[in-house]
Amino acid sequence: MTVQQIRIGIGIGNVFSVQSSVFRRNSVHRSLFTLITFLTLALLGAFAPQAEAVVATGGTVTNYTDAGGTNWTAHIFTNTAAATSIVFSAGGTVEYLVVAGGGGGGAGQADWANAGGGAGGLITSVVGEFSGGGTAYVGSAPNATTSLTATAYNVTVGAGGGAGVNGSNSSFGSFVTAYGGGRGAGGNVHKAASGGSGGGSGWLAGGPGAGTNGQGWAGGTSVTGSGDVGGGGGGAGNVGSNTVGSTAANGGPGLQSSITGSSMWYAGGGGAYNGNNGSSGTGGSGVGGNGGSPGASSRGGGGGGLAAGGSGIVVIRYVFTPKGTVVYLK
């Protein structure tokens, strides 16, 4: 081996040695960079804005995830026996549905016309849903979502009215009150009444009961002086049907809500009952009572002629973040 070859060999060895040293240093740098990146992301996650942590007790509590992937907690109140409350230990933004008790159908003589009862008033703040009353077959715009402080808020669920009796109001705190549905007219015994939605008219003069703006619609009309026919009770979605010939009129439609996690109908008007020929009007949206049948409980349905209205409901929901969830900044 020549001196020149030895020098070349030494040079090559030195190059390999330097390259190996640089590689080791770069590997350490990459490991440190990875560790620092991980710790940074972890810290960002720890201090990132979390979903609003509303905490409350009261009613029947259910958790669900909607079609858009949002997690909700809903508190459902259906007991009409006494006023209760929802207690927030941590406040925040909530949405609600408040439905009053439906009015009873007319309570005149059974062989006369007895109009349908009006549905309980319906008020909601759920985005994309409607409160009662508005343009034809569509409710009014929902109330704004509400930001609540950590305290207790009274909740009252209205009972349905017996035949010939108005429904009772439902309320959430001091800022939301839905009015009970108006009774339907009963033969030659009593006139229709106004309410959240109005009762259908009958034999006596005075016309149908009016609905409340932002809650429900008026009842349907009858032929004054005719003992055979009665109007349908108003619903949250539209007016009760008017009488046609001797056929008992149908109740007005209700409105849908998915606040409990399932899409359900509420506050349909009651159908009239024609005692002269035994015809029965159809209750609105399957929750108003057909002629001679009560309105649906916990749905605020108006009672069919000669029958009671259904009880109301109050539902309050808010977004929740499941335990263990980490929210990172994007």
Does residue 4 carry a pLDDT above 50?
no
Query: Residue range 34-58: average pLDDT?
Result: 57
Rounded CA-CA distance 97/107 in Å is 30
Mean pLDDT, the chain, rounded, equals 85
Write down the pLDDT at residue 323.
63
Nearest 5°: the CA angle 257, 251, 267 is: 25
On whether the CB atoms of residues 190 and 107 are closer than 8 A, the answer is: yes
Question: How far from the centroid of its chain's Cα atoms is residue 147's Cα?
Answer: 17
Does residue 45 carry a pLDDT above 90?
no
Does residue 7 carry a pLDDT above 70?
no
Does residue 6 carry a pLDDT above 60?
no
Q: How confident is the model at residue 204 (pLDDT cuts 50, 70, 90)?
A: confident
Does residue 5 carry a pLDDT above 50?
no
Q: How many CB atoms lie within 10 A of CB 13?
A: 10
Q: How confident is the model at residue 15 (pLDDT cuts 50, 70, 90)?
A: very low
Rounded CA-CA distance 18/21 in Å is 5
Q: How confident is the model at residue 127 (pLDDT cuts 50, 70, 90)?
A: very high
Prediction pTM value: 0.83
Which pLDDT tens digit goes with each residue over 163-178?
999 999 999 999 999 9
Write down the pLDDT at residue 227.
59
33 burial class (0-12, 13-18, 19+ CB within 10 angstroms)?
A: exposed
Write down the pLDDT at residue 27.
53
Write down the pLDDT at residue 30.
52
Greater confidence, 113 or 298? 298
Rounded CA-CA distance 79/103 in Å is 17
209 burial class (0-12, 13-18, 19+ CB within 10 angstroms)?
A: buried
What is the 3-class SS of the chain, one letter each residue? CCHHHHHHHHHHHHHHHHHHHHHHHHHHHHHHHHHHHHHHHHHHHHHCCCCCCCEEECCEEEEEECCCCCEEEEEEECCCCCCEEEEEEECEEEEEEEECCCCCCCCCCCCCEECCCCCCCEEECCCCCCECCCCCCCCECCCCCEEECCCEEEEECCCCCCCCCCCCCEEECCCEEECCCCCCCECCCECCCCCCCCCCCCCCCCCCCCCCCCCCCCCCCCCCCCCCCCCCCCCCCCCCCCCECCECCCCCCCEEECCCCCCEEECCCCCCEECCCCEECCCHHHCCCCCCCCCCCCCCCCCCCCCCCCCCEEEEEEECCCCCCCCCCC
